[in-house]
Amino acid sequence: MSSSITQFEQLALSAPLLQRLQDLGYEAPTPIQAATIPYLLDGHDLLGQAQTGTGKTAAFALPILHKLDLTERRPQALVLTPTRELAIQVAEAFQGYAHHLPGFHVLPIYGGQSMSNQLRQLRRGVHVVVGTPGRIMDHLRRESLPLEGLRTLVLDEADEMLRMGFIEDVEWILEQTPPERQTALFSATMPEPIRRVAHHHLRDPQEVRIETRTATVTSIRQRYWQVSGLHKLDALTRILEVEEVDAALVFVRTKTAATELAERLEARGYASAALQGDMSQALRERTVEQLKNNSLDIVVATDVAARGLDVPRISHVINYDIPYDTEAYIHRIGRTGRAGRPGNAILFVAPREMRMLRAIERATRQPIEPMPLPTWKVIAAHRLTQFRQQIVDVLTSEDLDFFYGVVAQIEKEQEIGPHDIAAALSFLAQRDRPLRIEESSDPAEAANNRFRSMSEAPSRSERSERSEKFDKPRRRSKESEDLDLVRYRIEVGHRHGATPRDIVGAIANEAGIESRYIGRIEIHDDYSTVDLPNGMPAEIFRHLKKVRVRQYMLQISRYDSSDSERAHPAFGATAAKSRPVRGEQRGKSAEHKFGKRHSDHHQNS
């Protein structure tokens, strides 16, 4: 069935879902999606074997959303996951796919979260519940999670639930659900206890097994940069400065992103072009030929457009946007390291995408090493080395008789020594690409350095230890007192069940700022304020707007003291300094502070 499905339009999904997939840049279904979506749409039970990172969340989320009755405000689908992190991730995926479904509500339920908030959300009505077995059992025993309207039940990562000792809990939950419900079980492996659950609780299931391609790519050096504190385009240009790049293939998720990024690289002096699905075959062939004959050095491509691309001079594959599944990653990096040459693969990974990074490591059977971003000092040293080599190459390979005469004439007419002339010519030659870079002269760099120095990404245990400290009202720490802080407003407050601990944890984990650098937090009924270091990069600001506390998006904005009469008088100066920058004004402020603004095409899906 799946072999003939190459486009989402071939699946019987509703128009709002197809539109959203187009918005997100999904060009073609992954094998697990092509194989399972038709079965689930037809109402079959399903037993699916697929690894993490194959796109299985969309495989069950899209059919569930297609069949929802949005006028019925009670749980119609229940997804069981082994961990709270996966529950949140799956819930966010549902919310993302349902962008064009007004009134849709999904609720993640897991331990460690306020029970009262969960009860309040359930009373208001939700369409899909995503949860861990323990907390789901708590609600079923309380009779706070009604299942009489349940149509679909999904067991995600069943083998992981078995490993964690949840399988008996899962079976108990299954017994509480309506017998006529549709059930889909997904597991990376199929040990006997999982097959026993499937045999007992699934009705004549369709079986789908996706053989995940694994590859040992020892000829390709794989590295990743964790996106933090600097716009991805700036990070990309720094990497291109210092890497010994013959030709680079840069992968993005969407056709629009390919075109725009290629144009921005061209504006920065790189010979670049886009390769995306809307191009004519003639234009595609011309672009590939230009890459082969050295007329182009960088091609920005989507996955579909790069299929079959074989250009031996590609020394680097850069995953500007992380792929949706491991298969796509393996295909991408296979474009380098051709014809026995060594290859380089670099992956940009946001903190919330680390799970996919680990899945990629398993698929490639090779660890992906973290890479530091080149500093301006490193870039300047690299430029100087290149400049010296260019001079040596010209002296050994070019006929310079005419230019010797020009220098001699300047010496005679101006009474200037050859060293002075050479220095002046060097200055002119490097004016567009300076050999000396004053790091302190770059305000964006200073701000980014401040954010980067505040934290490397904390480990799970560090996050856990950190979160225990923030149950009490939050005051400025000693470290934050030494910083230039700006006050921000976030759209969660007492009414949403938000606590200082929630806010600090969300900002610290998602922005990569150590908690000690987060200043005073004041929680009001409908909103809160938080003081953060001045100079927040635009990319982090955009991401924080979408971060959730108690399942409500922060919608962070610069704080205006006139927003509320309850602004604390002791912080009047800070509030005054942090007047809001709204609409176009915000964009102008960001441009002034951080330099030229660039669109961020990273999709949080």
User: Which pLDDT does position 497 carry in this prediction?
Assistant: 81
pLDDT tier, 579 (very low <50, low <70, confident <90, very high otherwise): very low
- pLDDT tens per residue across span 67-108: 999 999 999 999 999 988 788 889 988 999 999 999 999 999
pLDDT tier, 314 (very low <50, low <70, confident <90, very high otherwise): very high
- Assigned CATH topology for domain 443-594: Alpha-Beta Plaits (3.30.70)
211, two tokens? 């053989």
Q: Is the pLDDT of residue 302 over 60?
A: yes
Strand partners, 68: none
* Distance from chain centroid for Cα 548: 15
- pLDDT tens per residue across span 145-165: 999 999 999 999 998 898 888
List phi, psi (to 5°) of 233: -65, -40
In eight-state DSSP terms, residue 314 is E
N-term to C-term CA, the chain: 26
- Please tell me the least confidently modeled range out of 67-81, 171-185, 440-454: 440-454
User: Which pLDDT does position 599 carry in this prediction?
Assistant: 33
User: Which pLDDT does position 212 carry in this prediction?
Assistant: 63
Give strand ranges (E) for 277-361: 298-301, 314-319, 343-349
Same fold, 2-209 and 220-374: yes
User: Which pLDDT does position 215 carry in this prediction?
Assistant: 59
State the CB neighbour count (10 A cutoff) for residue 325.
27
CA 336 – CA 217 distance, rounded (Å)? 11
Dihedral, CA of residue 113, residue 119, residue 123 and residue 129, to nearest 10: 50
Q: Is the pLDDT of residue 408 over 50?
A: yes
CA 297 – CA 252 distance, rounded (Å)? 17
Across 158-185, average pLDDT = 92
CA 574 – CA 576 distance, rounded (Å)? 5
Across 121-125, average pLDDT = 93
Strand partners, 533: 485
Q: SS3 sequence, 432-451?
A: CCCCCCCHHHCHHHHHHHHH
- Residue-wise over 175-202: b if at least 16 C-beta within 10 A, else e? eebeeebbbbbbbbebeeebeebbeebb
Q: Which alpha helices (H) appear in 365-442, and where do they start and end?
A: 376-397, 401-414, 418-429
Give the residue with greater pLDDT, 136 vs 443.
136
User: Which pLDDT does position 535 carry in this prediction?
Assistant: 75
Name the average pLDDT for the chain: 81
Whether domain 2-209 has CATH 3.90.870.10:
no
CA 228 – CA 350 distance, rounded (Å)? 7
- Please tell me the least confidently modeled range out of 24-28, 381-385, 396-400: 24-28
Dihedral, CA of residue 138, residue 141, residue 145 and residue 147, to nearest 10: 130
Q: Where are the domains of the chain?
A: 2-209, 220-374, 377-437, 443-594
The type of residue at 219 is: S
Across 392-416, average pLDDT = 91
Beta strands 521-523 and 528-533: pairing type?
Answer: antiparallel
Q: Which alpha helices (H) appear in 42-166, and where do they start and end?
A: 56-67, 84-97, 115-124, 133-142, 158-163
- 584-594 vs 443-454: helix crossing angle, rounded to 10: 90
377, two tokens? 């000092």
- pLDDT tens per residue across span 183-238: 999 998 889 999 999 999 999 999 999 876 655 567 789 999 998 766 889 899 99
Whether domain 220-374 has CATH 3.30.70.260:
no
For residue 285, give every residue at least 6 positions away whose Cβ sits within 8 Å of its Cβ, in sequence order, or none.
Answer: none
In eight-state DSSP terms, residue 307 is T
Q: Is the pLDDT of residue 484 over 80?
A: no
pLDDT tier, 597 (very low <50, low <70, confident <90, very high otherwise): very low
List phi, psi (to 5°) of 280: -70, 160
pTM score = 0.52
- Please tell me the least confidently modeled range out of 22-26, 155-159, 258-262, 341-345: 22-26
Give the residue with greater pLDDT, 597 vs 443.
443
User: Which pLDDT does position 86 carry in this prediction?
Assistant: 85
Q: Is the pLDDT of residue 346 over 90?
A: yes
Q: Is the pLDDT of residue 501 over 70?
A: yes
Across 117-121, average pLDDT = 92
Give the residue with greater pLDDT, 294 vs 465.
294
Across 483-505, average pLDDT = 85
Dihedral, CA of residue 356, residue 358, residue 364 and residue 368, to nearest 10: 110
Closest CA to 318 of 335, 338, 305: 335
Across 362-388, average pLDDT = 87
312, two tokens? 């031996």
Which of 150-159, 326-335, 486-495 is predicted most confidently?
150-159
Q: Is the pLDDT of residue 4 over 80?
A: no
Across 384-412, average pLDDT = 90
Give strand ranges (E) for 74-113: 77-80, 106-109
User: Which pLDDT does position 439 carry in this prediction?
Assistant: 52
pLDDT tier, 2 (very low <50, low <70, confident <90, very high otherwise): low
Q: Is the pLDDT of residue 11 over 50?
A: yes
499, two tokens? 């606590």
User: Which pLDDT does position 444 carry in this prediction?
Assistant: 41
In eight-state DSSP terms, residue 278 is T
Nearest-Å Rg of the Cα atoms of the chain is 28
Give strand ranges (E) for 309-366: 314-319, 343-349
- pLDDT tens per residue across span 216-227: 567 789 999 998
User: Which pLDDT does position 568 carry in this prediction?
Assistant: 33
User: Which pLDDT does position 284 carry in this prediction?
Assistant: 86
Q: Which alpha helices (H) appear in 268-372, and where do they start and end?
A: 281-292, 326-333, 354-364
- pLDDT tens per residue across span 16-29: 999 999 888 777 88
User: Which pLDDT does position 461 carry in this prediction?
Assistant: 38
User: Which pLDDT does position 267 carry in this prediction?
Assistant: 85
User: Which pLDDT does position 465 carry in this prediction?
Assistant: 38
